[in-house]
Amino acid sequence: MMWFWNRIEGHSLPVRHWCDQNDRLGRYGWTRHDFHSFGIQEIVDKNVVFETSFVKYANNSWRSRIEAKPKYAEHSTSMSPSVPISLIFYVATQRPQDRLQVLPFNAELKPNSNFQIEGHSHDLGDFRMSFTISKNRANVLFRNYLNTVSDPPLVYLKESLLKNLVLFDINDIQRNPIFVVNGDSFDKRDQISRANFVAHQIVFSSAIELYVEFQTLSSQSSSQSSTHSTHSVTIESYKNELQKRSLQFDKDFELKFGLEEKKFSQNEISFAKAIVSNVLGSIGCFSGYSSVHSDPSEEPVPYGPLQLLTGVPSRSFFPRGFLWDEGFHQLLISEWDRELSETMIESWLSLMNSEGWIPREVILGGEAEARVPKEFIVQKTTNANPPALFLSIEKLLNNGNVDIKWLHKVFPRLQLWYNWFNVSQMGQISGTYRWRGRNPNTRKELNPKTLTSGLDDYPRATHPTDDEIHLDLRSWVAFASRVMARIAELVDKSLVAQYEETAQYLSDNELMDSMHWSDKHNMYCDKGLHSTQVTLIKVRNKSDNGFEKERKVVIPPAYDCVPELGYVSLFPFMLTLIETKNPKLAKILDDLENPKLIWSSHGIRSLSRKSAYYQQHNTEVDPPYWRGAVWINMNYLILKSLHYYSSTPGPYQSRALSIYQRLRQNLISTVFTEYARSGYVWEQYNDMTGKGQGSHPFTGWSALIVLIMGEKY
């Protein structure tokens, strides 16, 4: 669906096509969505509010109806209500054998109030869509449609439509020009037209209510299908069904998260419901080929065909699958719907190649590629991503309702994936691990990024070498070993001992301390060839005689601890590898509480305020990312760990509880307050002000705030 304002000055057209945060909408998102059967959404664009909803009916064929209620927001002065608004609904198919056709005009279908499209696609079979204006038809200024060929249709829909717009003056409507699709007359459809792209335009001056019905067609005759499609569900019955499902959603939500029982306000509960709804409403099914590079090949090759059912971090900025993000997504989705979560985890595991590698970023199809910078499209089979799916599987095990048959089904792939980590990401010394993919030759970055770790610009060893070792990766493998032992206990007891042995070896506190603890800096850390002082300086660019910034190493590097206190140094704590009596746990709790280091009133910051990298750009153009901001996924793991240590006997039990209670309240207050102010959940939060930063709406792992509210760990 596309909509745009018509403006007189210069005839500029602010077109809304796909979800883009640069559109700067006041607010948009699902307020109710259960993934399976219904959803309600609100979109606020300047002085117009759009309310949309859908219901999926379960009878002989799959059908849904969409209700749209655009209306002018009260007390708005940013735009006169007389300025026309265009809504354009479009349908496209992408295979050569697919087809679309606009049905001939039929007087029995209420002239100027009903528009129908029939089509056939490989995935859906035969289908029909009908559009009916149910209220305020007098507000409609113009209706038209375009049927054309767009190649390929799903990537260039916007361009195909814009090149078919023409200016059309309606002098008796305050002389506002209207841009309309240069297509066929709406009320003179006397012949069937065929295309792979059909756009139906409605131009209106004030509030209208529109119903859209989609139905897959059975073997019934065309006339029978037409009657059934148009009259099977009345508007009143639709509203009743929508209300019924909304009430059921509310009951299910309280049963699963218990926020009323925890005495949250109705505004806070509505906020949490919207977050869960946006997580579920953002789930997408992607198909196509991934571009993959494998050594020793020089060029990437297509990998597939693949199909992936996944959550996305952000509809507006990251509308695709990310491997380690999905582990956090499933923590929330599994709380809502165990079977759905198991299906989605299995979908990710199905992407695995024969060696056990899974792409860390899944970009399938032309639409997905159009939203991704070229340098991120190719996936390398040497590069990993944190195995955060084990977090979700552990939660399924802890909830006690995991499907044993499903565990048997996915266990072989989990074994292969686990073994791939142990072989491909192992360090040069037994028991150590190293993220691949760092660039040792970069001259532009203050600290070479480690994209594969998921923590991007978090400072690591300044001079990447093959003998550096990474604390967080070791912690992930130790944690995965522990979960694999639990799964083996249910599906193959003969394998329990080997996974337990590895888990105990990697979690052995004395061994871990000898490899990753620094007495000098009193912290856990990476180790590698590291300079404690580097800077970006301006140098002359030989190509255009201008200036650019390059890295200068002030102090020569030495192999040592990378003394950067923050999320990486907390990983043994976050994944509960530290024994409850280990005195190093006390030091970590000290650091957590210290506002001069990583404690803030808005959550635990990603990097200590005392770090030389705190809030520093990594290049001339790359702003700080994991260098001080508060991230909800890491704070969830910190709370989960504090919850564990506060409920497990040990000398630091009461202290862990105190920190847990204060941190939990700070996080809830920050995310809710910023949502109330801005209308959005954000990718990250400023550690000093609590303001949202990065992409929005970000109902990927930031949605874990609902589990934090419900204390579901």
- Asked whether the beta carbons of 205 and 173 are under 8 A apart, the reply is yes
176: left (phi over 0), alpha (psi -120 to 50) or beta: beta
Annotated active-site residue in 337, 456, 548, 560: 456
State the residue for tokens 């609904």: 89
CA distance linking residue 358 with residue 321, whole number of Å: 12
Cα separations in angstroms, 282 against 316, 396, 579: 10, 22, 39
Please report, as a single letter, which amino acid is at residue 448: P
- Asked whether the beta carbons of 273 and 248 are under 8 A apart, the reply is no
CA distance linking residue 361 with residue 384, whole number of Å: 10
- Asked whether the beta carbons of 14 and 1 are under 8 A apart, the reply is no
Q: Is 260 a catalytic residue?
A: no
Please report, as a single letter, which amino acid is at residue 315: R
Q: How buried is 339 (Cβ within 10 angstroms: 0-12 exposed, 13-18 middle, 19+ buried)?
A: exposed
Tell me how long the chain is.
Answer: 713
Q: Is 298 a catalytic residue?
A: no
**C-alpha dihedral, 528 to 530 to 536 to 539, nearest 10°:** -90
Peptide bond between residue 296 and the one before it cis (omega within 30 degrees of 0): yes
Secondary structure tally for the chain: helices H, strands E: 17, 31
β-strand partners of 100:
119, 195
β-strand partners of 216:
127
CA distance linking residue 115 with residue 147, whole number of Å: 13
- Asked whether the beta carbons of 684 and 694 are under 8 A apart, the reply is yes
CA distance linking residue 123 with residue 504, whole number of Å: 48
CA distance linking residue 335 with residue 21, whole number of Å: 29
Please give the backbone phi and psi of residue 98, each rounded to the nearest 5 degrees, phi first: -75, 160
Compute CA 589 distance to the chain's CA centroid, rounded to the nearest angstrom: 31
DSSP string, 391-448: HHHHHHHHHT---HHHHHHHHHHHHHHHHHHHHHSB-SSTT-B--S---TT-SS-SS-
- Asked whether the beta carbons of 279 and 333 are under 8 A apart, the reply is yes
CA distance linking residue 236 with residue 113, whole number of Å: 18
DSSP H helices, 105-234, are: 157-162, 222-231
Show the CA angle centred on residue 389, arms to residues 386 and 392, nearest 5°. Answer: 135
CA distance linking residue 650 with residue 644, whole number of Å: 11
CA distance linking residue 273 with residue 275, whole number of Å: 5
Q: Which residues are known to be catalytic?
A: 456, 683
